[in-house]
């Protein structure tokens, strides 16, 4: 048996509960992982509220991002009991054990904190797909990253800096901008200032940013087209503001700019998934990424952790402590 958080027929984080359920049985293409940490994402809130595109049958265990230790693996999978891995799952991360597809697992080195690795499968994968695959980032690029102290934003700051780009970070407070600076941002802009678009133009000698990564949407996304470079790319990652941007076609036309949606389908993009996992492992071993995580919440604190996430009381990645790396006796 294992402990697991459950989202039942009544929607919302206030109605989550903990239950003792059976450990998941091994099945083809999967391994069982003893979960040490589960990372929180805005999509968890949507899934629990049944507002996400993926709607699991209820009751279900929420959580889409985990890290842990292999408990049982099929022969020929390349993984062994005791291996440290991080992975995305459709749901099921907020439990003591979970099934993980062997082709989606990212190996975590022994010298890497498991709590930090919990940020890799969604935030860093999304940022890597955005910048490398969708944006084809180059050392000569100026990269504007919105919400740069958030999970995806901070991952993008580190990856863009590792690729040699000049990073302009935006955030809503000086404290959050300082975090982005510490992770590789060269220029800092508070987007609560009315003139933030003019600041971007001034920093780029009027040319604008070659790549703009936007996890916010709304007015931030709309105004981003006013400081995009000729032939620039606006990379749409999400809509944390709660509103989709209404993008002006004439601004796209005048700048010959592109708007690209960032998405990785783990079923239909196996080559991109494999490439992304290899690149992430290389960035880890090369010491290029150092995820900022908030892991002060324990297993029983999931509702309050989700509330902190929903109300943006977090910098970097919110991570739930679930178990320990050492297996308990019995």
What is the pLDDT at residue 329? 43
Say if residue 103 is in the same domain as residue 202.
Answer: no
86 within a domain of the structure (yes/no): yes
What is the pLDDT at residue 234? 98
- Rounded distance between C-alpha atoms, residue 150 and residue 216, angstroms: 10
279 within a domain of the structure (yes/no): no
What is the pLDDT at residue 204? 98
Q: What is the mean pLDDT of the chain?
A: 92
158 within a domain of the structure (yes/no): yes
Tell me the whole-structure pTM to 2 decimals: 0.86
266 within a domain of the structure (yes/no): no
What is the pLDDT at residue 232? 98
What is the pLDDT at residue 61? 97
Domain boundary among 217, 244, 261: 261
Which positions of the chain have pLDDT values less than 70?
325-330
What is the 3 state secondary structure string of 230-299? EEEEEEECCCCCCCCCCCCHHHHHHHCCEEEECCCCCCCCHHHHHHHHHHHHHHHHCCCCCCCEEEEEEH
Say if residue 149 is in the same domain as residue 83.
Answer: no
Q: Which two structure tokens, joined as six digits, stand for 36?
A: 């040490």
What is the pLDDT at residue 330? 42
Domain of residue 231: give its range: 123-261
Domain containing residue 199: CATH number: 3.40.50.720
What is the pLDDT at residue 300? 96
What is the pLDDT at residue 44? 92
Strand partners, 99: 32
Say if residue 7 is in the same domain as residue 107.
Answer: yes
Q: Which residues contact 217 (CB under 8 A, 6 or more apart)?
A: 236, 238, 239, 240, 241, 242, 243, 244, 245
Say if residue 132 is in the same domain as residue 109.
Answer: no
């Amino acid at each position: 048996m294992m402990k697991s958080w459950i989202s039942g027929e009544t929607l919302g984080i206030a109605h989550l509960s903990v239950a003792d359920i059976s450990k998941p049985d091994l099945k083809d293409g999967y391994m069982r992982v003893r979960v040490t940490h589960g990372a929180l994402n805005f999509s968890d809130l949507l899934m629990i509220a049944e507002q996400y595109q993926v709607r699991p049958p209820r009751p279900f265990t929420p959580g889409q991002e985990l890290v842990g230790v292999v408990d049982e693996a099929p022969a020929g999978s390349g993984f062994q009991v005791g291996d440290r891995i991080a992975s995305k799952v459709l749901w099921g991360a907020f439990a003591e054990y979970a099934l993980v597809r062997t082709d989606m697992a990212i190996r975590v080195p022994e010298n890497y904190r498991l709590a930090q690795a919990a940020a890799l499968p969604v935030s860093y994968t999304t940022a890597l797909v955005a910048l490398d695959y969708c944006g084809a980032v180059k050392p000569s690029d100026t990269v504007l990253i919105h919400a740069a102290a958030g999970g995806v934003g901070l991952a993008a700051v580190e990856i863009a800096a590792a690729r040699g780009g000049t990073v302009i970070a935006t955030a809503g407070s000086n404290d959050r901008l300082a975090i982005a600076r510490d992770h590789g941002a060269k220029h800092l802009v508070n987007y609560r200032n009315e003139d933030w678009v003019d600041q971007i133009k001034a920093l780029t000698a009027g040319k604008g940013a070659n790549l703009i990564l936007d996890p916010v949407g709304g007015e931030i996304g709309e105004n981003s087209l006013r400081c995009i470079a000729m032939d620039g790319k606006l990379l749409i990652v999400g809509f944390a503001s709660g509103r989709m941007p209404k993008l002006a076609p004439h601004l796209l036309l005048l700048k010959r700019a592109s708007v690209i949606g960032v998405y990785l389908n783990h079923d239909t993009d196996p080559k991109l998934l494999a490439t992304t996992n290899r690149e992430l492992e290389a960035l880890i071993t090369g010491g290029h990424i150092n995820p900022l995580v908030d892991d002060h919440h324990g297993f029983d604190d999931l509702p309050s952790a989700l509330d902190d996430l929903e109300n943006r009381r977090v910098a970097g990645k919110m991570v739930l402590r679930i178990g320990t790396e050492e297996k308990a006796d019995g």
